Structure 1
Amino acid sequence: MVIKEWFKVTPALSPPVLNCINKQGFKTMTPIQAAVIPLILSCKDVVAEAVTGSGKTLAFVVPMLEMLLKREKEAPLRKDFVYAVVISPTRELATQIFRVIEEFQKEPELEHFTLSLLVGGRPIEVDAESMQKGAQIVVCTPGRFQDLLAERKYLNLPGRLKDLDFLVLDEADRLLDLGFSATLTTILQYLPRQRRTGLFSATQTKELQDLVRAGLRNPVLISVKEKSSISTPIALENYYIIVQPEDKFLFLLNFIRNREISKGLFFLPTCACVDYWADVLPALLPDLKIFFIHGKMKLKRNKILEKFRAAEKTILLCTDLMARGLDIPEVQWVLQWEPPSSPAALVHRAGRTARGGASGCSLLPLLPAEDAYVPFIRANQRVELVDWRSSTDEIKITQKLRDKVLSILHEQQMRDRAVLDKGQRAFVSHIRAYSKHECNLLLRLKELPLGHIATSYGLLKLPIMPEIKEEHKKQFVGPKDKIDYNSIPYKDKQKEASRLQKLEEYKNTGTWPSKKKKKMLKTQPWELAKQNKLENKEKRMKRKELKKKHKEEGKNVKKRKAVTQEELSELAADVALIKKLKKRKITKEQFDQAFDVDK
């Protein structure tokens, strides 16, 4: 069944909900909304799969508000009870859903519903106080919701969930990817069985099916696909380009400079990479506002996201924290430093653009050794990557550009030691993340020219790590002049004073003060460490199976020796002697003589 107009939904939507939808400019329904909303309103549990940017949020917000309006007509809602819960994997996505619901509450008939946002990054007492004031609709992250369920000093949340009508698990596959499986199981135990549940996801996994069986009753499965052989929106153009490792950053830099980007996302492998490039990029892209965000930034993330939404001619440097669910319609380009650790994440990264029918583009630079990733991602995720070299826009990289960019990067590190440290950490964390790729048969750490990659980072020196071989040192292009690295200062005066003090002690003692005086273990390359870990796990499993087999066969099982009657009699006599000694019926000498104790 395909429903195009909102007013044709069966059962019919109420006037306040329709008015808000019209004010927001949603004239027609998306396929996922047309399929899911009538089912939820008919009291069905739903498992919905649809491509990113297909309008899943309205698909559960609209029926949720309708269900509350219907229940309110039957009997007044209690202010201290929770009737709808939306669980989201990240606080950014939870905040986005919260604001969508707030838009509906601008209607007079809906404004009386109390709404609460429960996310981490603030004291639990603040959320408990918010719940005390009333929260008939709760939008939350799983960790904070579980904490509040267990909290008893300020709030009895389980008692407020007795009449829960509707539970939504948004981006459910991501919830499981982030390790919330046990948390969700705990949460479901607190919720009443007589409820409606909606599970929304962009992809289906085996773990997701296990969650469906645990939390939903005879759900209707909805899978809405684009009329295309690819899994990303039709209006999205996905490009790739083969670049030399030492020129990857230069290519991306020139690519950004050569086009008018109103808003762009730049995905980097790790938090440390985001911190480093956020420091050095503004000097290379003075005409663009550079924002950055990653998972280790607990309190600033919402503020940064709001600034990015409001800004023009801006790029947001981010990790895969931003790859799921977030809706920023103005994003034109999604740039990536390298393929994500999970092949499925490529779909979600690219899906941050071309949302709601708008056009958008993504670009993925690949090294020559990574060219097999293109047919792999086509077969694995049905994402067609088009070679950028087939376009008329040619990005030239000259030696003059190389020298200029390297000079700027080196100068920034020599000016502030903090930037030098960030560059070292970024490179090390990048290589470590690369070693953990799911498709490591295609993306092999051993084939990476680490010296060239360090050059693309503009590092002053190669970090000390077991992966760096002699060949990599020959590849590396550092500063032309010799540098005394100990002379590079921190801009932070307090930090610099502490460093100088430690440096002086190091010169006198030969040991850096912060290092513990113990025998340092020899480090291993990450690939080798991972292999050893797997081998040890396999050995443990074999020992466990062998032990179980021996136990079943009755081999090597130590039987407990039976206690004889004679031993029991001797023990009873000894106990009797001790009692006599305590009651002073015998002397200490008589006791020692009875026990045959040497004097």
Structure 2
Amino acid sequence: MVDSWSKVSQSITKSTLTTLEKLKFISPTPVQAACIPLLLNYKDVAAEAITGSGKTLAFVIPILELLKKRDVPWKKHEVGAVIVSPTRELAQQIYEVVESFLEDVPNLSVSLVIGGKINYVDNSHIANIIIGTPGILEALFDKKINGVIELSRCVKSLEVLVLDEADRLLDMGFEASVNTILYHLPKQRRTGLFSATQTDEVEKLIRAGLRNPVRVSIKEKARVQDFSNDIQKTPSTLNNYYMIVESDEKLNQLVKFIQTHRRQKIMLFLSTCAGVDYFSKILPPLLKKSQVYCTHGKMKNRKKVITRYKSQGGGILICTDVLARGIDIPDVNWVIQYDPPTSASMFVHRCGRTARIGNTGSALVFLTPEEESFVEFIEINQKVPLVVMNQLEIEHNCIPDIQTMAINDRAVFETGMRAFVSFVQSYSKHDCYLIFKMKNLNFGRLATGFGLLKVPKMPEVKGKDLSGFNEVPIDIDGIKFSDKTLEKQRQEKLDKMKSEEDAIKSKKLNRPPRSVAWSEKLEQKDRKIRRKEIKVLKKEKRKMEMTEEDLDSLDNDFRMIKKLKKSKISQEDFDKEFEINSDPEL
């Protein structure tokens, strides 16, 4: 691989080499040494590489070199490369890398298509390299840009398509969008498919979108045509730890751990957006000497938060799994998985935010005693060994401090309730449900660990044992927002609700009197019942009278039949009695 890279590096343009020097690029990683020569030699590549192995440069360098080597200059409306990414953050990161290479290449342009907005270089033409998320790219193929240009007409000369984090693209439900993009692109192109894990869906995509691809599997060494599952899926420079701790002690252990690693850079993963919002409120007062950042998929300022965190030498970034894939944040010392990962593969992706490209790093996952079998599962399923970390000695219990925050600020109280509910709901849908069982959750200790004042009402908690929780005796409705604007809005809402309730009560009390007295209405009802009874009796009497007449008639007929049989009367007399007409035609 290194020999093939040395040959290729001789043909790489000077501008690219200059940028690599600026990026302090010394030698290629295995995935770069394997994939760059293949793509430059017009091969389709399906690469599986451990997280943090340098996949971005593995496709960015070939794209730039292939586009620069074309004899005919690229026109404004010609798209030479399309890079599809599952998340905005990863697309933004790729865009920044490509942009740094194009500083010395004025005849090529790049555009970023994310979040419903199209950011072109000069807002008047499609760039030669388009980077975006699948949903927006799919929409662009069905629309006209500036009312004139159709994207499907601009990709006829496409050289390269790259699907980054392909397994994540399919996990997030973008399969239909990816298929639409493939449909509009020319068949004669180079395609690079990069992923950290191999799945059945990725295999289908390889068969559908790549022509005779060269398969590259990078674990600790570069391997072509090898997808062995017996190789560790995390870097050897990554130290993985786990801590067994009860739910009501987990927060204390987290605070103590961060305090002992105050000068280091830490990423803290939670399972829900509500959890991130809650921890972003309670951790800063508990960690006064540490800088706390937070971001999740529902926040609008994610780019600014990540940029600020990247520039810091330390601090804590609280986030969800939106940052678990592909995001390159330099010098992360620790990754803490406070909530259990949604799947075994997500465990690896979270850990991959540290120990990137040969650097060292550590990761820690918190587990309750009932979840300890997850350690063995990860070792077997992902080939990742974990080392136990003993609990830290706690001098101060921070749970009462959090409850005090909730009493003094309704925003903390309400956010904590939402975080608890969202965590329980997320836990109930866990992929590893045989390990993370709802019946094993100690809801009392869990509520205590969240620092709640009371346990919220929800179906999952109904009828459960809450013996590990002591509800704080306080008037919940009396808790006020520390933000005066929010408190004013709450009071206005309460006043409105009270006025509506008073209006309903007043309507009931002041309704008009009945038109008929109650006693008179009762007499009318009795008369109606008596009339009905009389009708029923008369009807039954008529039935009885009709029955007696019928019986007398039957007796008479029976006597006449007996007389006929004994020949006491003739047939003519019998017929005459019954008025029988013997004419057969009648």
TM-score normalised to structure 1 length: 0.79
Equivalent pairs counted in the alignment come to 494
Among 472, 475, 482, which residue is 1:491 paired with? 482
- Encode CA deviations 1:58-102: one digit per residue, 9 max, x unaligned: 11011111101111xx21211111101111111111111111111
What is the CA distance between 1:506 and its match in structure 2? 5.1
Shift of 1:491: 3.1
Equivalent residue number for residue 112 of structure 1: 107
Partner AA of 2:333 in structure 1: Q
For residues 149 and 121 of structure 1, what CA distance do their matches in structure 2 show? 14
Q: Work out which of the two has the higher radius of gyration on C-alpha atoms and give 1 or 2.
A: 2
Q: Deviations over 1:179-233 (max 9, x none)?
A: 1000001111111111100000001000011111111111111111115942100
- Which of 85, 97, 100 matches 1:100? 97
Cα distance, 1:323–1:189 mapped onto 2, change above 3 Å: same
1:357 aligned counterpart, secondary structure: coil
Partner Cα separation in structure 1 for residue 423 and residue 412 of structure 2 = 16
Offset of residue 494 of structure 1: 4.2
In structure 2, stretches of 5+ residues that fail to align are 222-229, 505-586
Q: CA deviation at 1:8?
A: 2.9
Q: 2:272 aligns with which of 270, 273, 281?
A: 270
Contact 1:294 1:321 in 2 (8 A): yes
Tell me which residue corresponds to 1:213. 207
Q: In structure 1, how many angstroms separate the alpha carbons of the residues matched to 2:136 and 2:143?
A: 10
Q: In structure 1, how many angstroms separate the alpha carbons of the residues matched to 2:465 and 2:263?
A: 36
Which string of whole-angstrom CA distances, capped at 9 and with x for unpartnered residues, describes residues 448-472 of structure 1? 0011011011011100012225553
User: Which position in structure 2 is the counterpart of 1:39?
Assistant: 38
Shift of 1:134: 3.9
* Secondary structure, counterpart of 1:274 in structure 2: helix
- Contact in 1 for aligned 2:145/2:151 (Cα 8 Å): no
Look up the match of 1:169.
Answer: 163
Q: Which residue of 2 aligns with 1:352?
A: 353
SS at match of 2:433: coil
Q: Contact between 1:81 and 1:134, CA under 8 Å: does it hold in 2?
A: yes
> What corresponds to 1:140 in structure 2?
132
C-alpha contact 1:45 1:197 (8 A) present in aligned 2: yes
Give the superposition deviation at 1:40. Answer: 0.7
User: SS of the counterpart of 1:354?
Assistant: coil
Match of 2:285 in 1: 283
Deviation at 1:152? 2.3
Matched, 1:339 2:351: no
CA shift, 1:411, in A, is 1.8
Partner of 1:374: 375
Amino acid at match of 1:75: V
Cα separation, 2, equivalents of 1:219 and 1:56: 17
1:201 paired with 2:211, answer: no
TM-score, with structure 2 as normaliser: 0.81
Unaligned runs of 5+ in 1: 514-599
**Rounded Cα–Cα distance in structure 2 between residues aligned with 1:445 and 1:61:** 45
Q: 1:17 aligns to what?
A: 16
User: Does the 8 A contact of 1:7 with 1:18 survive in 2?
Assistant: no
Q: 1:396 aligns with which of 393, 397, 407?
A: 393
Q: What percentage of residue pairs aligned between the two structures are identical?
A: 46
2:456 corresponds to 1:463: yes
Name the CA shift for 1:52/1:492 in 2 (closer, same or farther; >3 Å).
same
8 A contact 1:274–1:294 mirrored in 2? yes
Task: Summarize deviations over 1:13-72 as a string: whole Å, max 9, x none.
Answer: 22222222223221211111111111111111100011011111111011111101111x
- Tell me the SS of whatever aligns to 2:11: coil
Taking only aligned residues, the RMSD between alpha carbons, in angstroms, comes to 2.1
State whether residues 247 and 449 of structure 2, in contact with CA within 8 Å, keep that contact through their aligned partners in structure 1.
yes
Aligned position for 1:535: none
* 2:262–2:290 Cα contact (<8 Å) kept: no
| 1:477 paired residue number | 470
Residue of structure 2 equivalent to 1:28: 27
Check conservation: 2:110, 2:120, Cα contact below 8 A.
no
CA contact (8 A) 1:5 1:27 kept: no
In 1: Cα distance, 2:214 partner to 2:37 partner:
12
1:545-564 matches, cutoff 5 A: none
- Residue equivalent to 2:219: 225
The CA deviation at 1:292 is 0.5
Counterpart contact for 2:5–2:37, Cα < 8 Å: no
Displacement of 1:132 in angstroms is 2.9
Over 3 Å counting, the alpha-carbon distance change for 1:168 and 1:35 in structure 2 is same
Aligned mates of 1:28, 1:10 — CA distance in 2: 10
Structure 1 SS opposite 2:466: helix
What residue in structure 2 maps to residue 410 of structure 1? Answer: 403
* Partner Cα distance (1:373, 1:511) in 2: 55
CA separation of 1:153 and 1:168: change in aligned 2, threshold 3 A: closer
